[in-house]
Amino acid sequence: MRGSPKTLAEAIIAAHSDDSASPGAICQVKVDFAFANDITGPPAAQEFKKMGGTRVFDPGRCAMVLDHFTPNKDIASAVQSKQGREFALDQGMLFWEVGRVGVEHAFLPEQGLVLPGDIVIGADSHTCTYGALGALATGVGQTDLAAVWALGETWLRVPETIKVVYGGAPSKWVGGKDLIISLIGRIGVEGARYKSLEFHGEGVAALSMDDRFTMANMAIEAGGKCGLFPPDAKTLEYAESRKARDFTPAYPDAGAKYSSVVELDAGLIEPTVALPHLPGNAKLAKECSDISIDQVFIGSCTNGRLSDIGLAAEALLGRRVHDSVRLMVIPASYEVYNEALDRGWIKIFTEAGASVCTPTCGPCMGGHLGILAEGERCVSTSNRNFVGRMGHAKSEIILAGPLVAAASALTGRVTDPREVL
């Protein structure tokens, strides 16, 4: 149903529902893709069986992605993975074994399984990542996901939309992470609660798909239901080159009604970090040069993509990680890992004194491969810096983009990349 001019979120919901997609309405929608990971998958499978489910609605549109505690770090995580694996194989749904998969929010777009115009439901809060493709993607609990697996549909409350306009083109020192942290710092971690963030402007047009994935990923850190980029030529080129099925992109209408408009000048934004313990605790990196660090993590579903790894490698070429710093680099997928190998970036990291690991979420949510001890501080390219997120409750996480992270690894303190590069 079309009716009055629609925002992108409203247009996508309208295309998937017979209900009126006006803000606040509850709509029953068809789902294009639904997935879980090794943490959320086993309980979702249990709920699926409890509610009488026998077969998922479409095995080609349902997936189990084992990425959080994999390769399994202990017996409990091995049991989790075994349960998820057995359910996926029994259902014939999409599944990839360790060594052939990656961090879900980087891997699924690479496989062309989430596409412009889709409604995507995932049992993971950062499912909003796929908004970079112009897909309405949002995280749900395991029970809701189980129902989607069984029925192929769900209900959504149509969100109001905040239009975010980035004027000006960002400098070479600034990427999607700086732009989104700056936005969250301005509107707060509840500033978009249950709303859609719809990104526009010259600053957005200049961004790579990798940067857009980063920004959409962190819409949830402002409380957003989703973060959406209207598809442009870059989006469609990316999707067409990878698509696993046909898709129909959706677009916002001229004259659509927004709950508010936020304007930022991307050309004036500088390298920015989020200090503990909120993603909205934004501060310029150059103002934090007195903060010493123990660890740097470059990876995750936020900044583990090819351009992120490339920026870090460029910064570290011919240099050594500071003696007091541990640097962990984890490419988000094997596509990224193998390309980094081909380009010589992995050798740059190891010669600089970094640890390079197989694609996994790893330390991002306190899993493994970089847990923090009491009193330790990490600069991380991940998306959350809550208390205890990466280890001990008395450790600290500072969120940053790959350039700030790499520069900080060289100096042993929070560092604006312009200082050393």
Helix/strand/coil for 50: helix
Helix/strand/coil for 95: strand
Domain 273-419 is found in CATH 3.30.499.10: yes
Helix orientation angle between 345-352 and 306-316, rounded to the nearest 10 degrees: 50
Distance between CA atoms of 156 and 92, rounded to whole angstroms?
A: 27
Listing from the earlier edge strand, what are the strands of the sheet with 396-399?
Answer: 282-284, 272-274, 396-399, 377-380, 295-299, 326-330, 355-356
Structure tokens at 244: 């696993």
Distance between CA atoms of 394 and 277, rounded to whole angstroms?
A: 11
Per CATH, 8-263 and 273-419 having the same topology is answered: yes
String of DSSP letters for 38-89: TTTHHHHHHHHHHTT--S-S-GGGEEEE--SSTTT-SHHHHHHHHHHHHHHH
Cβ neighbours of residue 241 closer than 8 Å, sequence gap 6 or more: none
Return the CATH fold of 8-263.
Answer: Aconitase; domain 3 (3.30.499)
Q: CA dist 38 to 76, 93, 179, Å? A: 11, 14, 31
Give CA angle at 15 (12, 21), nearest 5°.
70
Distance between CA atoms of 268 and 163, rounded to whole angstroms?
A: 19
Structure tokens at 386: 């809550």
Structure tokens at 121: 């439901």
Strand bridging mode 326-330 / 396-399: unpaired
SS3 content of the chain, % helix, strand, coil (to 5): 40, 20, 40
pLDDT along the chain (421 residues), means of 10: 84 94 95 97 97 97 97 96 97 96 97 98 97 98 97 97 96 97 97 97 96 98 97 98 98 96 97 97 98 98 97 97 98 97 98 97 93 97 95 97 98 97 89
Q: Where are the domains of the chain?
A: 8-263, 273-419
| Longest pairwise C-alpha distance within the chain | 62
Helix (H) or strand (E) holding 265: strand 260-265
> Which parts of 111-151 fold into alpha helices (H)?
142-151
63 forms bridges with which residues in the sheet? 35, 94
Distance between CA atoms of 19 and 27, rounded to whole angstroms?
A: 5
**What pLDDT was estimated at residue 2?**
52
